[in-house]
Structure 1
C-alpha cells in the first residue's frame, strides 16, 4: 500500500470555490468514485469523487474553506488492486406485436379494413439501465457517507431528507432524486405516533375539527362503508405511488361502426356490447408488449413481480361508492364473452352481491367515464397494480388527412394513463398509450 495525495481536479474557470460539505474523516474506507467533498460556486455545486480506493489517513480541508484546482483534499493510503467495474444487467427487448392480418372475423362477422391509414405499432425499447425498484438497493447506516450527486444533495437538503437513511438504487448505492422522493413518501405514511415519540417519521398535520354550523345550516350524513374502505385505499395508493398521467386520444371511428354492426349478433347471445370490452382487448395487447405494466412491486419495494396472466378490473359506480370487479383471463376470451361478464359483474355490483374473489387478482384497471362526460382526468392507481387507464367521453373532432389535404370528422376517444413512476418511465408511458391508440384505430389488429 502507498500513501497518496488526493487533489482538487479541474473544476472549470474558477479561481476558488467554497467547500460546503466534507464527507470523509480519518479512518474512513473509501471506494473509487465515492464522494469526498462537495464544492459550490455561485452557479453550481459539484461532488469531488475519490480517484482510487483506500483508507483516509488525514483530511486537509474543512467546511468553509475556499479551494482551487490542485488544492490538497486528503492523504489516502491506496488499496492494492482496483475494484472491477460493475456491468449493468442487459435487458431483453420485448417482442413486437404480431403484424395484423388483412381481414379478421368475429362471430361470423367480417371485420372491415380501416377507413384511413393506421400508424405502425410503437416498438418497445430496452431500458438502458435496471429500473430502480428492481436494482439492488444499498442501505446506508447513520454516519456513513451517502453516495449522491450535488444536485441530489441540494434536493435532499431542501426537503429535509437525511441522506444517510435513504437507500440508493444506482450503481454502488448511488442515491437519485427518485430515491429521495420515495423515502419522503414512505416517511409520510408512517403512523403519526412514531413522530410523536421522537422517531424519524415525518408527521402529518391533523385535519382541524371545525364547527361548520357557525357559518350556516348543515346536515350530517354517515359515509357509506364502501366509501370508507375505498377512501382509505385511494389515499394510501396516492401517497405511496408517485403518479404520472399520460394523455392521448384514439381514433375509434371504425371501431364504433364495427361495434354497432355487431349489436344484432350480440343481442342474439343476450349481450350488450359496449366499448369497454374492446378496451380490455386492447389493454391485454399492450400489456403483452410492455410487461412492466403487468406487474407489481414487492411489499418492500425491492423486486418487481411480473405476471403471466391477464386479469382486467373495471371501476364500477354504485349507489354506495366505487368498486372494482375483475374479469379473469381476458386474453382467452372474445369481446362477446368479455361483454357478457361485464354485464353480469356490473349487475352484481349494483345489487351488492359481488364476492370478495370477484374483486381480487387484477393486473390492470380501466376506469371509464365516457357515459357521464369530461375530456380527461387523472385516475388513481389501484395498487398493488402499477397502472390504470382512464377513458372519457368520445367526440367528433376534425383530423387532418395528409393524403386528401383536408380535415375529416373522426370520433376521438380521450385516454388518461396513470402509472407508478417507480416502475415505469415517461417514455414507456407514452409508448403504451400510443400502442393502445393503434390497437383501437384498427379493428383487425385489435381482434387478433
Structure 2
C-alpha cells in the first residue's frame, strides 16, 4: 500500500504561508480527486484546497487555525482507500494526530513536532515517515485528560483551543476532554467557563476595590480577560505589512476639500425613486466613484504607478477601482476591473457584489490584486476626514467623509446645506501638487454640481 504526502502549494501571488481555516475531511475519510479538503486562508482570500489524489486520508498534519508554510506537509494519503496496517477505521480505532510546527535545524522548514518521550524528526520529509503513533504513545493518547495531567504531560488539545483556554484563564489540566482519545475541544473549555468551575491558569491577581466595595480586579471592558493576545495573521498581517511598506516607501501628500454636495444628494434621492434605478444599490460612494472616473479623464496621473526597478512611471489607461471593505477578517480592498468602461448601474452592481463576497470570505486573490486607484468611505463611521495610506502599487487614494447638514454660504446667504469632506493622498514621486489638486478639485466640482459632468466627458 503506497502513501502520498500532499504539501501545501503556492496558492498564488508568491504567498509563503496559509492558515487552515477549516477542514472539510477527517482522518479515515475516503476522498476523490478534486474533492475539497479544506478552506485555507491566505493573506488575500479564503480559497478551497482540493485533493490531488483519490484515496484514504491517513493523517492531517495541521489543526484548524494553524498557519502552515508553503511546501510543508498538510495531508498524507493512503492510495487505494484502505490501511495497510490492518487497523479498523470504521470502529473509531484511528486516533487524530495533533501536530504542530517548528523550524527544522537543517532546512529551516516546518517539521512535525515530536511526541513527548520520543525522538522527533528533524525535517519536513522525515516528519511524514512516521504516520502512526507507537503503541505506547497511542495508549497514552487514549487516556482521559485528567490522567494525562497527573502524569505530567500536557493535556491533548489543538493550538487554537490552548490559546482560547489561556485567554480565558482556564487550566487545561483540570478539563476533561470529550474528543476522540480524550482530546480537549473548545466546547469542553466553554462548558467549564459556563458552569463557573474554571481554575485560573495563573496566580491570583492583586485585587483592590472602589468606593462601592466592588473588586476592581473583576471589572474589565466587556467582561473579557484583563489582557488578551491576538495573533496577527491572514488579512490583518498582510494589511499591516502593506501599510508599513507604503507609508515608508511612498512620500505621501494629503489634501482636503470641503464640498457642498446638496445637489448630489438630491440627485441620489431622485435616482432611487426612479423606475430605472429602483433595484440598484446607489450610495454617496457610488456617485463619488463615478466622479473619480470622470475626473481621471482630465488627470490620469493619479492612476499611474511607480516602477522602482525600471525607474519609470507607468501610465495606466484603465482603472481597476479599489474600495475598502470592512469584513470580519479585517480590511479588504477588492477592485472593480475596467471600471472606466462601466455605466453607473454596472458600477453599483459590481461594488455591491464584491462587497458581499468580501464579507463572506469568497473573494479570489485576483479580485484583491491589480488595483490602480482606491476609494475609502470613512463617512459610514461618522468620520469627516482622515489621511488615508496609499495601497501599495497605486498612485492615490481618496477618502470620502460623512455628509453633514451644516451652515454654508449659498448664493450670498447662509443656508443649511449637505457638506462632505474629501481627503486625497497621493504619491509625490510622480503626482505633483498641481496634478493632485486639479483632480481633487474636479471631483469636488462634479459632486457640487453633478450636471457639470456633461462638460467633462
Q: TM-score, normalised by structure 1?
A: 0.49
Higher relative contact order (CA 8 A, sep 6+): 1
